[in-house]
Amino acid sequence: MSRIDATFARLRQAQQKAFVSYVMAGDPDPATSARILAGLPEAGVDIIELGLPFTDPMADGPTIEAAGHRALAAGGGVTATLDLVRAFRQQNDTTPIVLMGYYNVVFGRPGGVQQFLTDAVEAGIDGLIIVDLPPEEDAELCLPAQEAGLNFIRLATPTTDDKRLPAVLANTSGFVYYVSVTGITGGAAADAATIAPEVARIRKAAGLPVVVGFGIATPEAAEAIAGIADGCVVGSAIVKRIGEGQPVDEVLAFVRSLAEGAHRG
């Protein structure tokens, strides 16, 4: 059983929903990023979604794009991200970490896909979300990742109809990430009433937990969305506070309030 599977099993037993937090690796600098990452589990985070810095993140809004640029300027990249995870794993061997990013970052790694996967597994990564690789390109990364023991988590969106959904779910594992709104991260607010039927449809087809992200910025929104899904993801609202230079303790206090909201869902 993977760390992701074990986490959802634990939450089901506790009758709780998952809280997933997104932060950009290396933002705003390696030392601060390491402190934030280390504090997330104690703040109530069940799964950490860790962004791989990239210059042109097409699915992300200005908040996360700026975080990636800050991380890159501070020396961030794949190697620095994996080093960050290795340091985290010295203290925490239970909280799942999912890398979220773009295929250019993986493809351009010295040694290519296989070396990236070897390094990711060794560092303690549990899953991948690669935004710009459709199911038609599963042989590029999805299938090799699963052979290496990593979950490959696919995005479903409001435009993923019943005809397209089987292809999206075919090689998905761990959970399905439902993008609650059309557009980029940090955009419109998610609406639980609108999302609920879509979550039910995808969960039935997938047989996997469905976690909802995009458009969730408050504890109240986290509670509402977690109430109709298996969990929720908050990213931009956290990253915004990091970008503003808020102290780590204040950032983690905000994360704790979001986690408490999700766990009430």
Domain spans of the chain, in order of start: 3-150+217-264
Distances (CA, A) of 47 to 79, 117, 144, 216, 258: 21, 20, 23, 16, 13
Longest CA–CA span in the chain (Å) reads 47
> Quick check: 138 and 155 in contact, CB under 8 A?
no
pLDDT for the residue numbered 215: 86
Question: Number of C-alpha atoms within 13 angstroms, CB side, residue 211?
Answer: 28
| Predicted structure pTM score | 0.95
The one-letter code for the residue type at 203 is R
Q: Please, what is the angle between helix 236-243 and helix 62-73, to 10°?
A: 50
Q: Using alpha carbons only, what angle is made at residue 34 by residues 33 and 39, rounded to the nearest 5 degrees?
A: 100
Question: Number of C-alpha atoms within 13 angstroms, CB side, residue 104?
Answer: 7
pLDDT for the residue numbered 56: 85
pLDDT for the residue numbered 146: 96
The ranges of the chain with pLDDT < 70 are 181-189
> Quick check: 261 and 220 in contact, CB under 8 A?
yes
Rounded to whole angstroms, how far apart are CA atoms 258 and 166?
32
pLDDT for the residue numbered 58: 79
pLDDT for the residue numbered 188: 56
Name the burial class of residue 216, with classes exposed (0-12), middle (13-18) and buried (19+) by CB atoms within 10 angstroms of its CB.
buried
Q: How far does CA 164 lie from the centroid of its chain?
A: 22
pLDDT for the residue numbered 228: 95
Active site residues per annotation = 49, 60
Q: What would the DSSP string read from start to end of 152-176?
A: EPPEE-TT--TTTHHHHHTT--S-E
Closest to 202 (Cα-Cα) out of 227, 229, 184: 229
* pLDDT tens for each residue of 99-134: 999 999 999 889 999 999 999 999 999 999 999 999
pLDDT for the residue numbered 265: 85
Rounded to whole angstroms, how far apart are CA atoms 232 and 249?
22
* Torsion (CA) 226, 256, 252, 152 in degrees, nearest 10: -30
pLDDT for the residue numbered 182: 56
pLDDT for the residue numbered 57: 80
Given CATH 3.40.50.11810, say whether it is the number of domain 3-150+217-264.
no
